[in-house]
Amino acid sequence: MAQGQESKCTRWTIGVTTIVFFIGIFAPLAWYAERPADTTYEVTITSVGGLDPALDLHGDRQALSLVFGLTVRVDSTHNKLFNRRIGGAGSSVVVYGDALLAKGAVPELCVKTSGVGEVAADAWGLNVQVPQFLRDRLAGELESGQAVVDVAVRTPAGCYINGCFDAVLVCKARIQGGSSPCFSM
């Protein structure tokens, strides 16, 4: 190889290596600076049936039959890369307050990038056995307007080489309150 050709080859290699190096350093930094904000999830308890504090919690009934109306809200307005999906086949919503109160399914909701969506779901418990000390505490919280229950929404997240996985959202929702933020587990 002639010396002039060797010099051109060396300069070309150094140039390409420099470009690749800077792309490798600055592309992740640029993505990090412009990354989409996380999608937020909220749950609102829209209705509660079968929970009369005077009859059900302080009375002599041994079991409760409850129905919770819930709304799950997905806010993906800052997400410019991926659609978000919750609910559908294999999903569930569970309401508990130190004891299982109700369980149901979540209809499928697909929220497009930069969008917002809501889906209504019902969770019910038939003849739920709740210990008296929890019933007394729940009655007091309902009377003071401070009743909070835990809501967990489980959605199949997909299957990969290692197996299938679920996404779980956990929320602390007020029974007589507005929407509550959820945290992904």
Give the single-character DSSP code of 60.
Answer: S
Q: Are residues 113 and 161 in the same domain?
A: yes
Contact present, 65 and 123 (Cβ < 8 Å): no
**Higher-confidence residue: 49 or 28?**
49
Q: Are residues 112 and 164 in the same domain?
A: yes
The stretch 100-116 carries a mean pLDDT of: 93
Residue 4 CB contacts under 8 Å (≥ 6 apart), including other chains: none
Q: Give the global pTM.
A: 0.74
Residue 45 CB contacts under 8 Å (≥ 6 apart), including other chains: 68, 69, 70, 149, 151, 173, 174, 175, 177
- What mean pLDDT, rounded, does the chain reach? 83
In 100-147, at which residue ranges do the beta strands (DSSP E only) sit? 100-105, 109-111, 116-129
Q: Are residues 48 and 84 in the same domain?
A: yes
Give the single-character DSSP code of 96.
Answer: E
Q: What is the per-residue pLDDT across 140-171, written as a single tens digit (0 to 9) for each? A: 888 888 899 999 999 988 777 877 888 899 99
Domain count, the chain: 2
Give the pLDDT score at 154. Answer: 95
Q: Are residues 30 and 103 in the same domain?
A: no
- Report the CATH number at residue 92: 2.60.40
Kind plus residue range of the DSSP H or E element containing 153:
strand 148-160
Domain limits at 16?
1-35
Q: Are residues 58 and 88 in the same domain?
A: yes
Q: What is the per-residue pLDDT across 65-101, written as a single tens digit (0 to 9) for each? A: 899 999 999 998 887 777 888 999 999 999 998 889 9
Q: Are residues 155 and 71 in the same domain?
A: yes
